[in-house]
């Protein structure tokens, strides 16, 4: 596996996603065996009631009012939410702002000439979200109750972050470039459906853009696919994003589970299952990810520089 990891002086990042048929990979591949099996605990009605209250309050913040609802064949519910109502604009630095018009793509990357984006299961229904809305995978009580706590839902565990493959229970291969000034990165990532052995394991392949040291000031933008039964409740490979501006301590989250990432594409549901997938000796299927710097006007699906300290 290969990874594209860049240290970039940046104002705004975006990525585009498309389905292509290929075999090249530019990614970080990772899997983890979790040892956080739930211990036997005494049932306490008052504590359970308090937890359910916190879960429902969090769900009310994450799940926004929908203009249209789509039932996906894999069991997901996709809500078509107005652009200005998405979770990104709950962030204090984005509150009151509006999604901006997209600028031109980088040279040599014509969005209109890219392959069709119908690569997710929810699109198999034949339904789509109308213009002016974005598809958001609805978060359920079950999703949140699988997390170790309400506060940790949708976040990576806080731990020492390393770029090499030495880590307790976390096996990964990373290839990277650094030491220059970069304005973007692209990866074609082969999509598979690896079988993890239990709810607390995950497997992923991703593009990882980083800046800062591997300490408290690490900034990252991440995108790829992952199999994570703890997060999603199944074993489908799902398109994901992640960001942090403080080495996974207090900021950032997966997908749209917190404020920050601004989505404008109405055909891609972040967190939704990918189909088809590659098979040994059979068809090979890629997703292509593109992250680039824009100085003036943020394009569709973007992070603003206000979210980061180094990027």
The pLDDT, as a whole number, for residue 112 is 55
Confidence of residue 110 (pLDDT cuts 50, 70, 90): low
Q: What's the CA dihedral at 124, 130, 135, 139 to 10 degrees?
A: -100
Is 5's pLDDT higher than 80? Answer: no
Confidence of residue 120 (pLDDT cuts 50, 70, 90): very high
Which of 10-19, 210-219, 226-235 shows the lowest mean pLDDT across its residues?
Answer: 10-19
Please give the model's pTM, rounded to 2 decimal places: 0.81
Residue 121 and residue 73 in contact, taking contact as beta carbons nearer than 8 Å? yes
The pLDDT, as a whole number, for residue 14 is 42
Please give the average per-residue pLDDT across 88-107, as a whole number: 74
DSSP 58-86: HHHHHS---SEEEE-TTS-EEEEEEGGGS
The pLDDT, as a whole number, for residue 171 is 78
Is 18's pLDDT higher than 80? Answer: no
d(CA 48, CA 297): 46
Residue 12 and residue 294 in contact, taking contact as beta carbons nearer than 8 Å? yes
Q: Is 244 helix (H, G, I), strand (E, B) or coil?
A: strand
Is 260's pLDDT higher than 50? Answer: yes
- Mean pLDDT estimate for the chain: 80
Residue 78 and residue 72 in contact, taking contact as beta carbons nearer than 8 Å? yes
Give phi and psi for 121, each to the nearest 5: -60, -35
Higher pLDDT, 24 or 137: 137
The pLDDT, as a whole number, for residue 40 is 46
Is 140's pLDDT higher than 80? Answer: yes
| Segment of 35-44, 104-113, 171-180 carrying the highest mean pLDDT | 171-180
DSSP 85-152: GSGGGGSTTTTT--PPPP-PPPTT--GGGSPP---BGGGGGS--PPTTEEEEEPP-HHHHHTSS-TTT
The pLDDT, as a whole number, for residue 11 is 34
pLDDT tens digits, 189-207? 999 999 999 988 999 999 9
The pLDDT, as a whole number, for residue 232 is 97
The pLDDT, as a whole number, for residue 147 is 94
The pLDDT, as a whole number, for residue 280 is 95
Higher pLDDT, 65 or 162: 65
- DSSP lists the bridge partners of residue 219 as 211
The pLDDT, as a whole number, for residue 132 is 92
Is 253's pLDDT higher than 60? Answer: yes
d(CA 116, CA 114): 7
Which of 41-50, 105-114, 136-145, 215-224 shows the lowest mean pLDDT across its residues?
Answer: 105-114
Which of 129-133, 188-192, 279-283, 296-300 shows the lowest mean pLDDT across its residues?
Answer: 296-300
**3-state SS of 172-199?**
EECCCCCCCCCCEEEEEEECCCCCCCCC
Is 75's pLDDT higher than 50? Answer: yes
Confidence of residue 54 (pLDDT cuts 50, 70, 90): very high
**For residues 54-63, b (16+ Cβ closer than 10 Å) or e, as one string?**
ebeebbeebb
Residue 303 burial class via C-beta count within 10 angstroms: exposed 0-12, middle 13-18, buried 19 and up:
buried
The pLDDT, as a whole number, for residue 25 is 31
CA angle at residue 184 from 24 to 231, to 5 degrees?
Answer: 70
d(CA 299, CA 12): 8
Is 66's pLDDT higher than 80? Answer: yes
Nearest Cα residue to 125 out of 194, 80, 72, 180: 72
Q: Where are the domains of the chain?
A: 46-100+115-154+181-292
Please give the average per-residue pLDDT across 70-85, as a whole number: 96
């Amino acid at each position: 596996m290969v990874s594209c990891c860049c240290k970039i002086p940046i104002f705004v990042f975006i990525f585009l996603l498309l389905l292509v048929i290929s075999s090249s990979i530019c990614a970080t591949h990772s899997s983890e065996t979790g040892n956080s099996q739930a211990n036997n605990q005494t049932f306490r009605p008052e504590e359970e009631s308090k937890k359910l209250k916190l879960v429902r309050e969090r769900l009310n913040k994450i799940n926004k009012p929908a203009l249209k609802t789509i039932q996906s064949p894999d069991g997901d519910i996709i809500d078509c939410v107005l652009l200005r109502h998405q979770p990104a604009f709950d962030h204090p630095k984005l509150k009151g702002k509006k999604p901006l018009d997209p600028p031109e793509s980088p040279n040599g990357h014509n969005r209109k000439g890219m392959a069709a984006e119908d690569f997710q299961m929810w699109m198999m229904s034949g339904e789509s979200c109308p213009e002016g809305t974005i598809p958001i995978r609805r978060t359920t009580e079950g999703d949140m109750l699988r997390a170790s706590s309400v506060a940790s839902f949708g976040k990576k565990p806080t731990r020492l972050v390393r770029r090499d493959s030495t880590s307790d229970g976390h096996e990964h291969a990373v290839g990277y470039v650094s030491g220059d000034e970069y304005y973007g990165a692209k990866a074609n990532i082969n999509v598979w459906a690896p079988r993890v052995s239990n709810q607390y394991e995950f497997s992923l392949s991703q593009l990882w853009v980083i800046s800062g040291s591997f300490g408290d000031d690490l900034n990252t933008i991440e995108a790829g696919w992952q199999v994570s039964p703890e997060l999603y409740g199944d074993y489908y490979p799902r398109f994901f994003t992640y960001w942090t501006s403080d080495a996974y301590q207090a900021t950032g989250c997966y997908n749209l589970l917190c404020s920050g990432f601004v989505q404008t594409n109405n055909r891609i549901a972040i967190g939704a299952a990918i189909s088809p997938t590659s098979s040994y000796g059979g068809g090979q299927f890629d997703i292509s990810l593109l992250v680039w710097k824009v100085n003036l006007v943020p394009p569709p699906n973007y992070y603003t520089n206000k979210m980061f300290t180094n990027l």
